[in-house]
Amino acid sequence: MARVYNFSAGPSMLPYSVLEKAKNELPEYSLTGQSVMEMSHRSKEYLGIIESCERKFRALLGIDNNYSVLFLQGGAWTQFAMIPMNLMTVNGKADFILSGNWAEKAYTEASRFGTASIVASSKQDNYKYIPKIDTSYLDINADYMHICLNNTIYGTAFSDVPESVVPLVADASSMILSRRLDISKFGIVYAGAQKNMGIAGLVVVVIRKDLLERSADDLPMMFSYKVQNESSSMFNTPPTYSIYIMSLMLDWIMDEVGGLENMSERNNEKAYILYDYLDESKLFKGTVAKDSRSLMNICFITGNENLDKQFCFEAEKSGMPNLAGHRLVGGIRASIYNAMPVEGVRKLRDFMKAFEKEHA
Ligand SMILES: *Cc1c(COP(=O)(O)O)cnc(C)c1O
């Protein structure tokens, strides 16, 4: 069967050349006579892989030495708890901006560890836009402020990083490496790898080094940023193969795409192929405010639930699976992360046009 254009929200598609490279190296990596899957994580060869992965990640995002990069497990979900466990330790409180379901989960998990306050929210309007932040609500004594940069389920994104006097903590799971991000504005940026930079099993945490001092000594070892940092993400066996695939993804962004600027331009182009069409279509309508549009997850509806379902069904038959919206919101969602080629998006747009003609 021919490969499809997979519009899944995550895990999501990988570039074909990354899969080919992984396939060629699967039984024998370099001249080691073994697969990466079989390697000791402490071997010289594997240390080469994880160190090069970190080096390339730092280079692409311009991360300086004030920050540590940790390769952890448990997905973004575990970070929802690990962040308050480690950081909510000065005044026992933190501020949260609710811009979607994942932001809400981060808030709920944090409230198990201290006082979590909602300082802005668009929940009352079904998260159709990024809420405006009234800085007079922000607590200067909060231990940190948490935001979710791209709201995967609703299809909205922050266009600018909000100002914050306390350390800003950001869930970047569904936008990491899709465009530039000024890491120096953040205390922590974390992201699961399975959307924009690889496969499941790996979550990357970028943390400003002074914040490592907040981790209490009596934390369970695996949940301490300080312990993880001191052991260079090797406190226990790290997700070795997921880190290897991330390293291949970084090579792809650097060598084939030509860097983060090009990646960003390509992602803009892809998103606007769909948004431009949505703006003129008489059948399909975007579901979020224009100034809050995500470049990664594009959500739309026909206004008729059965027609939405028929659309997803027929698109799948044409080699474009996983277009159904998240179960919380329904409708249609095209997730077009880094690995989705421009041709895949054009094919979807042309398919939408034909569907519109047929159902006008
Ligand atoms: C997918 C996603 C998550 C959940 O990630 P897991 O790896 O399943 O824990 C959290 N936040 C955002 C923004 C996501 O897109």
Ligand 1 centroid distance, CA of 81 (Å): 13
Instruction: Tell me if 344 CB under 6 Å of ligand 1.
Output: no
Confidence of residue 97 (pLDDT cuts 50, 70, 90): very high
Q: What is the largest CA-CA distance in the chain?
A: 65
Q: What is the mean pLDDT of residues 109-117?
A: 98
Query: What pLDDT score was predicted for residue 360?
Result: 80
pLDDT of 102 over the 90 cut = yes
Query: What pLDDT score was predicted for residue 221?
Result: 98
Q: What is the mean pLDDT of residues 306-334?
A: 97
Q: 178-216, pLDDT tens digit by residue? A: 999 999 999 999 999 999 999 999 999 999 999 999 999
Ligand 1 centroid distance, CA of 99 (Å): 14
Q: Which residue has the least CA distance to atom 5 on ligand 1? A: 76
Higher-confidence position of 225 and 360: 225
Q: Which residue has the least CA distance to atom 4 on ligand 1? A: 76
Q: 15-33, pLDDT tens digit by residue? A: 999 999 999 999 999 999 9
Query: What pLDDT score was predicted for residue 104?
Result: 98
Q: What are the E-state strand segments in 26-123?
A: 67-72, 93-98, 115-121
Instruction: Tell me if 192 CB under 6 Å of ligand 1.
Output: yes
Residue with tokens 């990357």: 204
Q: 211-235, pLDDT tens digit by residue? A: 999 999 999 999 999 999 999 999 9
Encoded tokens for 184: 């120096």
Catalytic residue ranges: 102, 171, 195
- Count of CB atoms situated within 10 Å of the CB of 203: 24
Q: Which residue has the least CA distance to atom 8 on ligand 1? A: 75
To the question of pTM greater than 0.95 for the whole model, the response is yes
What's the mean pLDDT when you consider all of the chain? 97
Instruction: Tell me if 186 CB under 6 Å of ligand 1.
Output: no
Element housing 206 (H / E) = strand 203-208
Q: 335-358, pLDDT tens digit by residue? A: 999 999 999 999 999 999 999 999
Please name every residue paired with 300 in a beta bridge, in sequence order, or none if there are none: 286, 332
Query: What pLDDT score was predicted for residue 170?
Result: 98
pLDDT of 175 over the 80 cut = yes
Q: Which residue has the least CA distance to atom 2 on ligand 1? A: 173
Ligand 1 centroid distance, CA of 111 (Å): 19
Running DSSP on this structure, what letter comes out for residue 129? S
pLDDT of 1 over the 90 cut = no
Complete domains list, the chain, with CATH: 16-256 (3.40.640.10), 259-359 (3.90.1150.10)
- Count of CB atoms situated within 10 Å of the CB of 64: 8
Instruction: Tell me if 152 CB under 6 Å of ligand 1.
Output: yes
Q: Which residue has the least CA distance to atom 10 on ligand 1? A: 76
Measure CA of the first residue to CA of the last residue in the chain; give whole Å: 33
pLDDT of 152 over the 80 cut = yes
Closest to 13 in 3D by CA, of 233, 351, 322: 322
Amino acid at site 351: F
Instruction: Tell me if 238 CB under 6 Å of ligand 1.
Output: no
Atom of ligand 1 nearest to the CA of 174: 15
Ligand 1 centroid distance, CA of 113 (Å): 20
Element housing 238 (H / E) = none
Instruction: Tell me if 10 CB under 6 Å of ligand 1.
Output: yes
Ligand 1 centroid distance, CA of 173 (Å): 6
